[in-house]
């Protein structure tokens, strides 16, 4: 069993040690809870559980505490992929919900598995997901001051390998902040979240760069074709260099290889594989 999570990129952590410490402590606690959960649950169930905990923390840009778009509204996106069944599900730009990853989980058994906007919210209401306002005073303050783009990058994700050898990936985001309403991030696409029987990947960074590189699906495909996870990730990241792509990934292969990488050195992540906790 192995588990790795990420909390996106956080440049404000460079200057605010209190915020950095809080995020480190939150990731450490969540990866411990997630690994404990993995002991008696599947990779899919655990990926949803861990990401829902990340969504519930206002320290991260997903669920509660998500960024506010240019029209003053918060729209959330999340995706889930089961490496065993090869089913992908997700919601794009859904409003007024607490845990978009849980809605994605609900959609996993449906024929229409990726919903956006009003359709996603209607589906959520019809399936017992009530009204919730994910705005926090800090995000409103940031919106009002129109802070620089550099502090508005962040997504959360989880990749899990369960006792049955099955893999899953889950990713959730509140977007980049101040974007044009209707903008679609990578998080609810196979560019940002992908898994099969060989590997699973969750991404963070600039969605447009991640989509341009088809990052998650490309890495997983290369592992499927025989590359190690580390080599597949490095090769794919090298292909982002011509566009100066801003991205980070966490991943696990079916052989148990865990790997993380980023183009900038400020992605925060934590892992647990039964050995003493490793945190960055």
User: Within 13 Å of residue 141, how many CA atoms lie on the same side as its CB?
Assistant: 4
Give 234's contacts (C-beta < 8 A, 6+ positions apart).
261
pLDDT tens per residue across span 7-57: 987 655 445 677 778 888 999 999 999 999 999 999 999 999 999 999 999
pLDDT at 101 over 90: yes
Q: In 61-175, which ranges are E strands?
A: 76-82, 87-94, 114-116, 155-161, 167-173
> For domain 2-279, is the CATH number 3.60.20.30?
yes
pLDDT at 149 over 50: no
Could you tell me the CA-to-CA distances from 118 to 33, 52, 143, 182 in Å, in that order?
Answer: 33, 22, 24, 11
pTM exceeds 0.85? yes
Residue ranges covered by each domain of the chain: 2-279
* Residue 155 annotated to the active site: yes
Q: Which residue has the tokens 């991640």?
A: 210
Helix (H, G, I), strand (E, B) or coil at 269: strand
pLDDT at 134 over 90: yes
Give 3-state DSSP helix, strand, coil % of the chain, rounded to 5: 35, 25, 40
**Bridge partners, residue 236, by sequence:** none
The whole-angstrom separation of Cα 256 and Cα 244 is: 30
pLDDT band at 152 (very low <50, low <70, confident <90, very high): very low
**More reliable by pLDDT, 150 or 182:** 182
Whole-number pLDDT of residue 112: 97
Closest among 206, 181, 180, 178 to 192, alpha carbons compared:
206
> Is residue 45 within 8 Å of 89, Cβ to Cβ?
no
Phi, psi of 218 (to 5 degrees): -65, -45
pLDDT tens per residue across span 50-93: 999 999 999 999 999 999 988 889 999 999 999 999 999 999 99
> Is residue 175 within 8 Å of 206, Cβ to Cβ?
no
Whole-number pLDDT of residue 263: 86
**More reliable by pLDDT, 16 or 106:** 106
pLDDT band at 146 (very low <50, low <70, confident <90, very high): low
Average pLDDT in the 102-127 region?
97
Whole-number pLDDT of residue 280: 60
**Bridge partners, residue 169, by sequence:** 81, 159
pLDDT band at 275 (very low <50, low <70, confident <90, very high): confident
pLDDT at 150 over 60: no
Which one from 155, 171, 173, 218 is the annotated catalytic residue?
155
């Amino acid at each position: 069993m192995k588990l790795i999570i990420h909390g996106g990129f956080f440049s404000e952590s460079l200057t605010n040690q209190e915020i950095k410490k809080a995020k480190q402590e939150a990731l450490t606690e969540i990866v411990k809870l997630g690994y404990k959960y993995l002991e008696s649950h599947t990779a899919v169930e655990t990926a949803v559980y861990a990401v829902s905990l990340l969504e519930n923390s206002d320290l991260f840009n997903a669920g509660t505490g998500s960024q506010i778009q240019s029209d003053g509204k918060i729209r959330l996106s999340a995706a889930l992929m089961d490496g065993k069944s090869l089913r992908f599900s997700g919601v794009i730009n859904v409003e007024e919900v607490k845990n978009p990853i849980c809605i994605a989980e609900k959609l996993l058994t449906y024929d229409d598995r990726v919903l956006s906007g009003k359709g996603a919210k209607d589906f959520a209401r019809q399936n017992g997901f009530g009204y919730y306002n994910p705005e926090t005073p800090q995000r409103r303050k940031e919106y009002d001051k129109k802070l620089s783009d550099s502090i508005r990058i962040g997504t959360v994700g989880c990749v899990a390998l369960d006792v049955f050898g099955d893999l899953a990936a889950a990713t959730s985001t509140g977007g980049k902040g101040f974007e044009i309403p209707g903008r679609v991030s990578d998080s609810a696409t196979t560019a940002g979240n992908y898994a099969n029987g060989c590997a699973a990947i969750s991404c963070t960074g600039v969605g447009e760069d991640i989509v341009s590189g088809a990052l998650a699906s490309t890495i997983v495909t290369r592992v499927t074709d025989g590359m190690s996870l580390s080599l597949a990730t490095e090769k794919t990241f090298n292909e982002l260099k011509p566009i100066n792509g801003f991205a980070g990934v966490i991943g696990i292969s079916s052989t148990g290889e865990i790997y993380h990488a980023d183009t900038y050195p400020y992605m925060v992540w934590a892992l647990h594989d039964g050995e003493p906790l490793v945190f960055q």
